[in-house]
Structure formats: C-alpha cells, structure tokens
Structure 1
C-alpha cells in the first residue's frame, strides 16, 4: 500500500479513469471534474491517493482556504473501493491529509459526510473530529 499526493505530472488517462471510476462509488450522479482542474495551481486543493498493485483503491481531497477566522481545510470526496473497505485505507488517507494540514499550518479542518455513511462517521470521530453544531446550506448554481 502506497500513499501519495497526486501531482499534475501524475495525471494521465488511466489515472483519471481510475479516480473517476472510484468516485462513482461515492456518487454516481455527479459528473467528476477533470483532475487538471482540481490540481490547477490556482485551485488550492490536494488529492491523496492510496495505491495497491498499481491500482488506485482510495482517494481523498482537501481544499484549503483563508477567511477572517483563519486558514482552514475542507475534506471532501473521500472514497475507498468497495472491495478494499474495512482494511484501514480510509483512516490512512485521513491521517495523511491531517498531517498535510498540520504541515501547512491550518487552523482547522472541516468535512461533510452524508447522514447514511455510518462507518465514515465512526472513522471521523475516532480521528478526533467533532460534530459541529451548525447548519449546512447549499445552493446549486
């Protein structure tokens, strides 16, 4: 098992296909953005990948942003291939991103997870994330 940050030079059609196929296990409705857009230097986001035998089996993305209350990270699109769940890959991806956030001097890391993803809730709580007493609203444009 190898954990790494995806770089623009890593992007090729096979990598793009593997990550988009994996993302469909998380959300089959959303059409994923190109990795070139995600890893554009103007977009402050990092993509952590877990690879087993040249196959990407897990991915997690953290966007960074600065607001009056501090420099923050927001984790999204965490998915582990169904065939490899329960092996600690999600935990390793999250720990990897948390470590990256610490190195970048982030004040806080936030994340969103759907109410029905019970194993993910347990993982995030075990990693020290606490449920924030707030409301999240969305406006699709």
Structure 2
C-alpha cells in the first residue's frame, strides 16, 4: 500500500472515477466536486490518498486557512473502502495530514464527525483529538 499526498499532476480520469465510487461509501447524497476543482491553486488543501494495487482505497483532506485566531486546518472527507477497513489506513492518512499541519505551522486542526461513526471517533481520539464544547450550525446556500 502507498500513502501519499496527491499532486495535481497525478490526477487522472481513472483516479477521479475511483474517488467518485469511494466517496459514495462516505456520503451518497452530496454532490461531489472534481479533484481538479478541489485542487485549484487558489484552494489551500492537502489530499492524502492510499493506493493498493493501483486502486484508491482511502482518502482524507485538510483545508488550510488563516483567521484572526490563527492558522487552522480542517479535516474533511475521511473515507476508507469498506473492504480495506481495520488495516490502519485511516490512521496513516490522518498522520500524514497531521505531519503536513506541523510543516505548515498550523495552530489547530479541527474536524467534525457524525456521532454514529464510532470507529472514526475512536481513531480521532487515539490521535489526540478532543471533543470541543461547541455547536455546529449549517446553512445550505444551494
């Protein structure tokens, strides 16, 4: 297995197709953006991927941004293929993103997870993430 940060030059139609199928395991209801859209130069994002025998089996993304309270990272879209779970892929993807966060001198890395995703929450806690006492609000603009 190969865990690495994706570069724009490595995006192919086949990888995009694999991502679309993999992402359905995370959320089949959301409209997906293409990797080209996500990795535009104006978008500060790191995309960690796991390839097994040329197939995309894991993905995690971290958006980076600056606000008055500091440099932040937001982990998004963490998914490992159902047939590859339990092998530590999610942990390796997260560790790569946390290493990148340190390189970028981020002050905080945040993430949200559904309460029903108990395995993911256990992983996040094992990596030192703590539940923040706050509320998450959303307003859809579509």
Normalising TM by the smaller chain, what interval? over 0.9
Root-mean-square deviation over aligned CA pairs: 0.6
TM-score (norm 2): 0.98
Q: Structure 2: state its 5+ residue gaps.
A: none
Runs of 4+ in 1 over 3 A off after TM superposition: none
Quote the offset at 1:8 in angstroms. Answer: 1.0
Counterpart in the other structure of 1:22: 22
Counterpart in the other structure of 1:55: 55
Counterpart in the other structure of 1:97: 97
Counterpart in the other structure of 2:81: 81
Distance in 1 separating the partners of 2:61 and 2:131: 20
- 3-state SS in 2 of match to 1:26: coil
TM-score (norm 1): 0.99
Distance in 1 separating the partners of 2:14 and 2:134: 40
Counterpart in the other structure of 2:40: 40
Would you say how many aligned residue pairs link Structure 1 and Structure 2? 141
Over residues 60-118 of structure 1, what are the superposed CA-to-partner deviations in whole Å (9 max), with x where a residue is unaligned? 00000000010000001000000000110000000010000001100000001111000
Distance in 2 separating the partners of 1:127 and 1:97: 12
Distance in 2 separating the partners of 1:96 and 1:86: 18
Distance in 2 separating the partners of 1:90 and 1:53: 17
